[in-house]
Copies of this chain bind each other. A is one copy, B any other.
Amino acid sequence: MKLGIFDSGAGGLSVLKSIIESRIFDSIIYYGDTARLPYGTKDPQSIINFSLEALDFFNSQKIDMLVVACNTASAHALKAMQSKSKIPIIGVIEPGIKALQNKITNQDARILILATKATIQSGQYQDRLKALGYKNLYAIAPSLFVPLVEENIFDGKILEEVMSFYFKPIDFIPDAIILGCTHFPLLANAISQYFQNKSILIHSGEAIVDFIKHKIPTQNTSTTTLKFFASSDVESLKKTARKWLDLPNYSFLKT
């Protein structure tokens, strides 16, 4: 089966990695809208327009399924994309919510949602969790987290100050923290430590593999052909992919 993965840039590579390791797909097309990243600080209509343009690209690639790895695009554009597509399109929010449901059954649990401004403003995580009965929801958009990760800052004083700045209103230990942006798992250790390693962290990207496995018949491919596309500077995306994926053998990394 042939899968498409759409992200605003390189953040979705963590999702790609989980999916490769699951051995479900023998062919994967990754497309990053690197010319227009980041999405998380942009307005809803632009995010929808960008995502529909990406869908046009994937339609030309004859894929069997599309994963929207970007939380911001999932939050704002998933419905618009699904209404214009004949193949299944999966976002990262629903799998993230399902993963939380599996781990947190107490509906009084205090849940901290961390995501981009655009994702938080969409209300997607909050509305879905409320509909499931969760009562104590706290949503924060730590906008500096993405540029910190891009600057390879994963610990240290700057990150500590930045966390204090955003987490000031949270004067308790959350029972669960949703890492609602593909960049945030790279700060998981620091975020966890900030809350004394007592919170359960939910990675939306990791959750997607379980979600897909419930949708399609189990496969066990021996190799996966990868192809990378980007709206600008695809070479830089490939370079990041080689570094991030950290796979034992790159011979199948066709480009």
A: residues with CB less than 8 A from B are 34-36, 41-43, 45-46, 49-50, 143-144, 146-148, 150-151, 157-158, 161-162, 164-165, 232-233, 236
Contacts and interface: CB of A to CB of B under 8 A. Distances in A.
Given A144-B148, A158-B165, 20 more contacts: A34-B46, A35-B36, A36-B36, A41-B150, A43-B232, A43-B233, A43-B236, A45-B232, A46-B233, A49-B232, A143-B147, A143-B150, A144-B144, A144-B147, A144-B158, A146-B147, A147-B147, A157-B161, A157-B164, A158-B161
Nearest to A36: B36
Contacts of A34: 42, 46
Q: Is the interface of A mostly helix, strand, loop or mixed?
A: helix
A240 to B, nearest CB: 12
A41 B157 CA distance: 23
A161 B233 CA distance: 32
A45 B230 CA distance: 13
Nearest to A162: B158
Contacts of A161: 157-158, 161
A147 B116 CA distance: 13
Contacts of A144: 144, 147-148, 151, 158
A45 B148 contact: no
A162 B151 CA distance: 11
A35 B42 contact: yes
Contacts of A49: 232
Among A148, A150, A157, the most chain B Cβ lie within 10 Å of the Cβ of A157
Contacts of A151: 143-144
A161 B150 CA distance: 17
B232 A42 contact: yes
A232 B45 CA distance: 8
A125 to B, nearest CB: 21
A43 B34 CA distance: 10
